[in-house]
Structure 1
Amino acid sequence: MLTTDFPLGSPCWIDLGSPDIPATAAFYGRVFGWTFQEVPETGGYGFLQLDGRTVGALGHLDGGARSAWTTYFRTADVDATVKAAEQSGATVRVPPMDVMQEGRFAALTDPQGAEFAVWQAGNTVGLDAVSEDNTLVWSELHTRDQDGGFSFYHGLFGWRVENFEPSPGMNYRVISTAEGDQQQTSFGGIAPTMQPEQPSA
């Protein structure tokens, strides 16, 4: 289960790029009761909050780009993680950079084509609330290559895996952080894509 302790390798932040921030904020406000608090001098980036606690973030996306959520995984050293990811076949979309005093991040695309980001904590460790109603509770990777997907992230974060079959013929993999009780630290899964042409995400 996700907790706000955010052990290394766990999801610690999510954000969404949108070409229309007010419309997107209004949509999630209706669905989850989230409010949007813009951060000054960030070009429109701001926090999605529930009862005053940050549960995600929202930023501007240039027209024509596909709007999508990005999951950030906590690391002790962004630069070392990026180097290891590149050596394992990942592509760097945004090189390591500081976010004021809050932390350091980079954005990557894994060898299967799924986009993700990594976060090294400064003043901000992660979200204020998870595993509650209307907050982040689970993260999944959908990929045509489950073995390759797990191998890549295991190399970066030491993830552990437990296989099970939720329905006949479907192999689902529950993932956990490297340390702690494996079931208690599970936070997501790796599932096969539903269609052969479906991109990893």
Structure 2
Amino acid sequence: MPTPDITPGAPCWIDLMTSNTDTAKQFYGDLFGWEFQTGDEEKYGGYITANKNGKMVAGIMQKQADQAAMPDMWSTYLRTDDAAATAAAVTANGGQVYVEPMDVPEQGHMAIFGDVSGAAIGAWQPREMRGYELVAENGAPAWHELHTKDYDAAVKFYQEVFGWDTDVMSDTAEFRYTTLGAGEDAKAGIVDASGYLPAEVPSNWQVYFAVGDADASIEKAVSMGGALVDGPDDTPFGRLATLTDPTGAMFKIVADTGQAAQG
């Protein structure tokens, strides 16, 4: 599969902030068939890049002492052509700048924001590092989804700040869902989570990984110290499940069952 064509505003990278990089490498390496490279400590702080079939799919970084109270978690980054301008737009549209745009030597610029509903979202302005090189294949990221407690405000935020051209997939009382792009060209989703996210759980982005067999992947993950949180469930988009890795970072898997909904 060719390197994905990542347009401004679309997801372009994911990484895991973890309390134990060795555990993470063992777990995801065995589960998804990843191989790893560790970056220069002085330049990149020992940032670990995960590869699948020789193509970059994700990053892993060690949680620092001042982040000890934060949960281990996966993050999604959206592409921007101007991180500083995006930071200004975030503030102007009711969001927060958690990490100011910073230079990653030779690779690009990164920033971390809080959207208007409180969900953390990364931004990446590429130079040499363009983003992940494999999507929607086994062991690679397949979908990105914002579970938000303030759906209308969140949709408007991503339209205004990241230039999303959105499509309303569903607008019923039971299920409100908007996508970046439409149908098979959709690249991310926003779901109204106000009815099910507990009070103590903030709005959040979730990452789906493609797998060949959801049930086999669940069994393997659990055998390695992961946990099944929800599912598996058969949906029009595949067989889905939510899991955590051994240190508690949440992620989702999706297996194509040949029943994918047509846009």
- State the TM-score, normalized to the length of structure 1: 0.90
SS in 1 for 2:141: coil
Q: Which residue of 2 aligns with 1:187?
A: 187
Q: Which residue of 2 aligns with 1:199?
A: 202
* Structure 1 residues 164 and 66: CA distance shift in structure 2, 3 A: same
CA drift of 1:196 comes to: 4.9
SS in 2 for 1:134: coil
* Structure 1 segment 1-201 matched on structure 2, within 5 A: 4-41=4-41, 42-62=44-64, 63-165=68-170, 169-176=174-181, 182-193=182-193, 194-197=196-199, 198-201=201-204
Query: In angstroms, what is the RMSD of aligned CA positions?
Result: 1.8
Q: Which letter maps to 1:71?
A: T
Q: Is the 8 A contact 1:105 1:117 kept in 2?
A: yes
Give the Cα separation in 2 of the matches to 1:93 and 1:6.
24
5+ residue gaps, structure 2: 205-263
Q: Is the 8 A contact 2:10 2:188 kept in 1?
A: no
CA drift of 1:111 comes to: 1.6
Q: Percent identity?
A: 35
Give the Cα separation in 2 of the matches to 1:21 and 1:38.
11
CA drift of 1:99 comes to: 0.6
Q: Which letter maps to 1:199?
A: P
Give the Cα separation in 1 of the matches to 2:153 and 2:202.
14
Give the Cα separation in 1 of the matches to 2:76 and 2:124.
10
Give the Cα separation in 1 of the matches to 2:36 and 2:8.
28
Give the Cα separation in 1 of the matches to 2:166 and 2:122.
21
Q: Which letter maps to 1:195?
A: L
1:67-97, Cα deviation, whole Å (9 max, x unpaired) = 1111111111110011011111111111111
- State the TM-score, normalized to the length of structure 2: 0.69
Aligned length: 194
CA drift of 1:161 comes to: 2.2
1:142-192, Cα deviation, whole Å (9 max, x unpaired) = 01111111000100122122223398721222222xxxxx43431121112
5+ residue gaps, structure 1: 177-181
CA drift of 1:65 comes to: 2.0
Give the Cα separation in 2 of the matches to 1:87 and 1:48.
35
